[in-house]
């Protein structure tokens, strides 16, 4: 007997037209539902996210079908991904059935669903259904039984889970009755390829043929109506993420990570800077709220949220959505709260983990811009002082600008003002220039360069703060003022390459200064030293040591420099024990986003939490690559009671000690 089945068995081909009409109506509901959202999204400012169409489509398809961003977090993610693939398989199978019944059979007179292919088709679909049910059960248990902290339960969760469960169950029941009435009797060998149906069929085996036919019709229609319900529910429940989250993979920015809109300060027609109300955000910022699935991965990783500060990136995204829908003229800052906005370290952990490509950080910075540029607000007086200091002396400490280059006295180094014929310009940054602990790193970097025969120049007292902390605090004006002075200087010296020891300077010079007209290659010292080692310009005498390594946010997550520093340390003889959170999952030191200038008054101390992670590795040494991190960790070791247990040192110190002579 041929392995196939009769499509529309017991239903009849007459159902085709009403079925298509109903399906079209369901798609109409989806379209109508999203059409109604359009005016809400369009309250935002214009932003072109439809350029580089091919690239965007490719990224979207890759992200959606691979589910890579989803299963990156095992809890919930694996269930979701497997469910997605299973459900997709079922959907594809149903489509194939549809094409067979309404296209291939009537027009081409061929039957794809027969023979060995049908057996495989049948088995795959049944297994997919079973898998989907198991995953659904897992998701159900996770949400309603395990209830991970912070995971909200809303009405949508009940609707969606029950709906999906009912669709899958009615599918198997329909199949079961059909098989009880047909395959089980006529072709039991084929029935083995439908394990789900086989199982469900047992329920109906004892029924009279008449009852079976009626029962089958009921289940068939029930399944069909539920599927229609599923489609109709998409725009009105969390199911919307099927479209919005996928589309967000298309809409996500193509610019380098961390790019911020450079405000045109010459445009005198602009009267509002930053985001005060919904209309000051972009349409994409509002759309993001619809793409959010409340998975709270961002909140779990946010260093501010973890240390009990009043910031949840997820909550901010939702608050934006609520304002856009209910009160577009309402104040963003009041809704979100100043404390929440100032708590952000711009560490990008939220954005990096977000499976929906939501851009949390720039929203926060836009709101900070409103606070700073429109209201002259600061998170605290200490920040006001630091900002004033940067204005007057070009450093947050308020130390005399003329002393900026003093640390280099007596070192083999040229000050550009006197001799600008150098291999690299070392942009020192404020901490390495003025802070005693960090001056050691600057000096070590110089001895590394000296050993490699690299001629280094510094700007000395001409250098100013790169402007990063004030920019992240929202003060675009001061950022552009200081940046312009640095850029003008650097351009005048005809610099070939810039190297920084600070990831914040590095990001700013390498990426942000481009917008302001600086086009010189910029490197962080970790990649620079790695190249010196790989090209044998620098050789180390390895000395064994055990360590753990902190990926600073602005080197790792922002600039994807994760392996190089580890390679250097391994070259130096180190053996690493990774912390609980490392690489892209690294946990901020607390000093990003301009927080280096601020006191941490709310919640517990982020640096202490990170120090705890470091001591948990058992390694006696924590290696960092950023002056802000180093400063925070020196502090966190003292206040967190890790003195004598853990020591924090900079990459440059480890390398400099092992230079081969």
Partner 1 sequence: MKTLLIGEYREGKMLESTYELFGFAAQLGGESAMLMVGSESQLPAYGGTLYLADAAACGEYNPDMHKKLILEAVQIENPDCIVFLHSSYGWDLAPRVAVALKAAQVSEVIALADGGFEVGCCNGKMRRTVKPATAKTVLTIQAGSFPVLQPGGTPDVRKLEAAGGTTVEFTGYEAAEKKDVDLAKAEIIVSAGRGVGKKDNIPVIQALATALGGELGASRPVVDAEWVSHSHQVGTTGQTVSPKLYVACGISGAIQHLAGMKKSDFIIAINKDKDAPIGEIADVLVVADVMQFVPAFTAKIAR
Partner 2 sequence: MKLLVCIKQVPDLESRFKPDAAGVWYNETDLAFRMNEYDEYAVEQAVRLREQLGEGCELTVLSIGPDRVVEAIKKSLAMGCDNAAHIQDAAAYSKDPWQIASIISAYAKERNFDIIFTGMQSQDRGSAQVGVIVAELLGIACTTTIVNFDYDNGTITAKRELEGGIKGVVKLKTPALVTCQLGLNVPRYPTLPNIMKAKKKEITAISVAELLKEESLAATTSFHPPAKKGGGIVLEGDIADQVEKVIAILKDKTAVLR
Among 401, 407, 431, 554, binds partner 2 (CB under 8 A): 401
Region near partner 2 per CB under 8 A, out of 76-84, 390-398, 544-552, 590-598:
390-398
Phi-psi region of 39 (alpha: psi -120 to 50; beta: other; left: phi over 0): alpha
Q: Which 396-455 positions form the footprint of partner 1 (CB under 8 A)? A: 436
DSSP letters for 259-282: --PPP-TT-TT----S-SSGGGSB
Does position 393 interact with partner 2 (CB under 8 A)? The reply is yes
Among 152, 560, 580, 599, binds partner 1 (CB under 8 A): 599
**Residue 403 binds which one of partner 2, partner 1, none, with CB within 5 to 8 A depending on kind?**
partner 2
C-beta closer to partner 1: residue 599 or 616: 599
Q: Is the dihedral of CA 630, 636, 642, 644 positive or negative?
A: positive
CB of 84 to partner 1, least distance (A): 48
C-beta closer to partner 1: residue 288 or 635: 635
SS3 content of the chain, % helix, strand, coil (to 5): 60, 5, 35
Q: Could you give the string, one character per residue 622-641, with x where binding to partner 1 holds by CB under 8 A and - elsewhere?
A: ----------------x---
Does position 437 interact with partner 2 (CB under 8 A)? The reply is no
End-to-end CA distance of the chain, in Å? 84
CB of 344 to partner 1, least distance (A): 20
Strands (E), 136-264: none
CB of 389 to partner 2, least distance (A): 8
**Residue 607 binds which one of partner 1, partner 2, none, with CB within 5 to 8 A depending on kind?**
none
What is the C-alpha to C-alpha distance for residues 651 and 441, in angstroms, rounded to an integer?
8
C-beta closer to partner 2: residue 300 or 635: 635
CB of 636 to partner 1, least distance (A): 12
Among 62, 137, 402, 645, binds partner 2 (CB under 8 A): 402
CB of 365 to partner 2, least distance (A): 15
Q: Could you give the string, one character per residue 578-597, with x where binding to partner 2 holds by CB under 8 A and - elsewhere?
A: --------------------
Among 382, 391, 406, 657, binds partner 1 (CB under 8 A): 382
**Residue 599 binds which one of partner 1, partner 2, none, with CB within 5 to 8 A depending on kind?**
partner 1
Among 273, 445, 545, 549, binds partner 2 (CB under 8 A): 273
- The answer to whether 550 and 622 have CB atoms below 8 angstroms apart is yes
Q: Which 592-631 positions form the footprint of partner 2 (CB under 8 A)? A: none
Does position 635 interact with partner 2 (CB under 8 A)? The reply is no
CB of 599 to partner 1, least distance (A): 5
C-beta closer to partner 2: residue 454 or 473: 473
Q: Is the dihedral of CA 256, 259, 261, 264 positive or negative?
A: negative
What is the C-alpha to C-alpha distance for residues 457 and 365, in angstroms, rounded to an integer?
34
Region near partner 2 per CB under 8 A, out of 205-213, 306-314, 389-397, 630-638:
389-397
Calculate the CA 630 to chain-centre distance: 25
DSSP letters for 494-521: T-S-EEES-HHHHHIIIIIHHHTT----
Region near partner 2 per CB under 8 A, out of 16-24, 70-78, 268-276, 445-453:
268-276
Give the contacts of 472 (CB within 8 A, at least 6 positions apart): 346, 365, 368, 592, 593, 594
Size of the site for partner 1 (CB under 8 A): 5
Rounded to 10 degrees, what is the CA torsion of 463, 465, 471, 475? -90
CB of 397 to partner 1, least distance (A): 10
Quick one: which of 23, 5, 177 has its CA closest to 105? 5
Quick one: which of 145, 146, 143 has its CA closest to 155? 143
Quick one: which of 338, 431, 359 has its CA closest to 390? 431
CB of 381 to partner 1, least distance (A): 6
Give the contacts of 355 (CB within 8 A, at least 6 positions apart): 69, 70, 72, 73, 77, 245, 293, 295, 297
Does position 381 interact with partner 1 (CB under 8 A)? The reply is yes
Tokens of 603: 């919640």
Q: Which 317-376 positions form the footprint of partner 2 (CB under 8 A)? A: 372-376
DSSP state of 584: G
Does position 477 interact with partner 2 (CB under 8 A)? The reply is yes
DSSP state of 46: P
What is the C-alpha to C-alpha distance for residues 658 and 448, in angstroms, rounded to an integer?
10
C-beta closer to partner 1: residue 476 or 635: 635
**Residue 24 binds which one of partner 2, partner 1, none, with CB within 5 to 8 A depending on kind?**
none
What is the C-alpha to C-alpha distance for residues 594 and 299, in angstroms, rounded to an integer?
20
What is the C-alpha to C-alpha distance for residues 272 and 373, in angstroms, rounded to an integer?
9
Looking at beta carbons, which pairs linking 19-23 to residues 24 or more positions away fall under 8 Å? 19/224, 22/224, 22/228, 23/228, 23/231
**Residue 14 binds which one of partner 2, partner 1, none, with CB within 5 to 8 A depending on kind?**
none
Size of the site for partner 2 (CB under 8 A): 27
C-beta closer to partner 2: residue 347 or 383: 383
Calculate the CA 585 to chain-centre distance: 10
Tokens of 640: 């967190």
Among 126, 476, 512, 650, binds partner 2 (CB under 8 A): 476
C-beta closer to partner 2: residue 475 or 625: 475
DSSP letters for 556-579: TTTT---HHHHHHHHHTTEEE---
C-beta closer to partner 2: residue 120 or 400: 400
Which H/E stretch holds residue 622?
A: strand 621-624
**Residue 137 binds which one of partner 1, partner 2, none, with CB within 5 to 8 A depending on kind?**
none
Interacting residues toward partner 1 by CB under 8 A: 381-382, 436, 599, 638
Binding site for partner 2 (CB under 8 A): 265, 268, 271, 273, 372-378, 384, 387-388, 391-394, 398-403, 461, 476-477
């Amino acid at each position: 007997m041929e392995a196939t089945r009769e499509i529309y068995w017991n239903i009849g081909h007459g159902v085709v037209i009403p079925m298509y009409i109903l399906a079209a109506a369901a798609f109409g509901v989806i379209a109508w539902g999203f059409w109604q959202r359009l005016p809400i999204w369009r309250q935002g400012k214009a932003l072109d996210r439809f350029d580089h169409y091919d690239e965007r489509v490719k990224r979207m398809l890759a992200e959606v079908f691979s589910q890579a961003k989803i299963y990156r977090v095992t809890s919930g993610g694996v269930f979701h991904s497997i469910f997605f693939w299973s459900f997709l398989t079922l959907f594809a199978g149903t489509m194939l059935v549809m094409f067979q019944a309404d296209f291939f059979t009537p027009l081409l007179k061929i039957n794809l669903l027969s023979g060995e292919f049908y057996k495989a088709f049948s088995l795959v679909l049944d297994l997919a259904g079973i898998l989907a049910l198991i995953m659904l059960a897992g998701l159900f248990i996770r949400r309603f039984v395990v209830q991970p902290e912070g995971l909200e339960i809303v009405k949508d969760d009940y609707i969606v889970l029950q709906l999906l469960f009912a669709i899958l169950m009615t599918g198997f029941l329909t199949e079961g009755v059909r098989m009880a009435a047909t395959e089980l009797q006529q072709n039991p060998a084929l029935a083995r390829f439908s394990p789900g149906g086989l199982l469900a069929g047992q329920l109906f085996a004892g029924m009279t043929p008449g009852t079976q036919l009626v029962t089958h019709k009921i289940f068939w229609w029930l399944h069909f109506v539920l599927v229609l319900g599923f489609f109709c529910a998409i725009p009105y429940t969390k199911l919307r993420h099927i479209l919005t989250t996928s589309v967000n993979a298309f809409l996500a920015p193509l610019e380098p990570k961390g790019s911020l809109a450079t405000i045109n300060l010459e445009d005198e027609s602009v009267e509002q800077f930053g985001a005060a109300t919904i209309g000051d955000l972009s349409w994409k910022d509002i759309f993001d709220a619809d793409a959010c699935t409340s998975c709270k991965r961002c909140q779990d990783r946010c260093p501010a949220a973890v240390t009990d500060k009043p910031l949840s990136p997820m909550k901010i995204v939702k608050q934006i959505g609520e304002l856009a829908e209910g009160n577009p003229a309402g104040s963003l800052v009041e809704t979100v709260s100043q404390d929440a906005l100032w708590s952000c370290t711009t560490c990008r952990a939220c954005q990096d983990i977000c499976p929906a490509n939501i851009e949390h950080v720039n929203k926060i910075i836009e709101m900070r811009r409103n606070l700073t540029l429109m209201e002259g607000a600061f998170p605290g007086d200490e920040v006001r002082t630091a900002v004033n200091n940067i204005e007057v002396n070009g450093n947050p400490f308020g130390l005399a600008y003329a002393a900026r280059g003093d640390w280099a006295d007596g070192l083999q180094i040229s000050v550009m003002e006197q001799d600008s014929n150098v291999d690299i310009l070392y942009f020192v940054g404020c901490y390495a220039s003025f802070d005693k602990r960090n001056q050691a790193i600057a000096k070590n970097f110089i001895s590394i360069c000296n050993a490699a025969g690299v001629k280094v120049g510094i700007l000395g007292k001409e250098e100013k703060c790169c402007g990063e902390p004030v920019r992240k605090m929202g003060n675009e004006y001061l950022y552009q003022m200081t940046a312009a002075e640095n850029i003008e200087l650097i351009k005048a010296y005809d610099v070939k390459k810039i190297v920084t020891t600070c990831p914040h300077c590095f990001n700013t010079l390498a990426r942000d200064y481009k917008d302001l007209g600086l086009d010189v290659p910029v490197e962080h010292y970790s990649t620079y030293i790695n190249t010196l080692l790989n090209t044998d310009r620098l050789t180390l005498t390895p000395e064994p040591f055990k360590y753990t390594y902190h990926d600073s946010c602005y080197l790792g997550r922002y600039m994807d420099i994760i392996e190089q520093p580890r390679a250097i340390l391994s070259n130096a003889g180190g053996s690493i024990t990774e912390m609980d959170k490392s690489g892209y999952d690294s946990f901020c030191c607390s000093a990003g986003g301009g927080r280096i200038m601020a006191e941490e008054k709310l919640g517990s101390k982020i640096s202490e939490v990170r120090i705890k992670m470091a001591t948990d590795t058992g390694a006696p040494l924590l290696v960092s690559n950023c002056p802000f991190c180093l400063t925070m960790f020196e502090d966190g070791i003292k206040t967190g009671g890790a003195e004598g247990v853990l020591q924090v040192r900079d990459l440059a110190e480890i390398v400099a000690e092992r230079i081969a002579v």
